[in-house]
């Protein structure tokens, strides 16, 4: 793995800190979950330079993980996208409490089983458990 220079490291840390500050500001300024999720989504999508991004929340009452906020996805996708929390991918992310990074979902049969790359217009996936 290539080593990064001190400047690159500092630049990366600055961006990460800036993201956290923006999220902390909105989280402390409102109690409206929708507003907090939308702002977090915008900050992350802009920081990662992504057109399509979503935040899913685990619904313990029906044991589904559903999209709660989205950027770049159709309302139809947002309204119907739910995954049973018994799905192996979901269990792995939450059990291990580690991010899941899939560079190309076309090459991952487990992901393709729940996300259709053609209809979702997704190429890669980053799933991060937030507790």
Average of pLDDT values for 43-57?
81
Give the per-residue pLDDT at 119.
65
Residue 122 pLDDT > 80: no
Q: 119 in a domain, yes or no?
A: yes
DSSP letter, residue 49: T
Residues 47 and 16: their CA atoms lie apart, in Å, by 9
Q: 70 in a domain, yes or no?
A: no
The upper half-sphere exposure of residue 99, i.e. CA atoms within 13 Å in the direction of its Cβ, equals: 7
Residues 94 and 116: their CA atoms lie apart, in Å, by 22
Is the model's pTM score more than 0.75?
no
Q: 11 in a domain, yes or no?
A: no
Residues of the chain with pLDDT > 70, as a percent, come to 85
Total number of domains in the chain: 1
Q: 12 in a domain, yes or no?
A: no
Chain centroid to CA 38: 12
Give the per-residue pLDDT at 37.
87
Give the per-residue pLDDT at 95.
77
Q: 123 in a domain, yes or no?
A: yes
Residue 1 pLDDT > 60: no
Q: 113 in a domain, yes or no?
A: yes
Residue 129: which domain range? 87-131
Q: What would the pLDDT profile of 73-96 be if each residue is shown by its tens digit?
A: 767 666 667 777 677 777 777 778
Residues 131 and 127: their CA atoms lie apart, in Å, by 13
Residue 128 pLDDT > 70: yes
Residues 26 and 7: their CA atoms lie apart, in Å, by 29
Contact 109, 116 (CB under 8 A): no
Quick one: which H or E segment has residue 78? helix 75-80
Q: 98 in a domain, yes or no?
A: yes
């Amino acid at each position: 793995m290539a080593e990064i220079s001190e400047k690159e490291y500092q630049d990366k840390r600055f961006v990460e800190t800036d993201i956290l500050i923006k999220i902390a500001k909105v989280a402390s300024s409102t109690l409206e979950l929708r507003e907090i999720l939308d702002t977090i989504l915008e900050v992350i999508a802009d920081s990662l330079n992504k057109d399509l991004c979503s935040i899913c929340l685990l619904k313990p009452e029906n044991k589904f993980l559903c999209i709660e906020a989205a950027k770049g996805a159709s309302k139809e996708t947002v309204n119907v996208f739910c995954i049973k929390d018994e799905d192996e991918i979901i269990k792995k992310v939450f059990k291990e409490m580690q991010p899941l990074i899939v560079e190309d979902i076309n090459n991952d049969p487990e992901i393709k089983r729940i996300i259709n790359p053609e209809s979702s217009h997704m190429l890669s996936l980053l799933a991060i458990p937030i507790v």
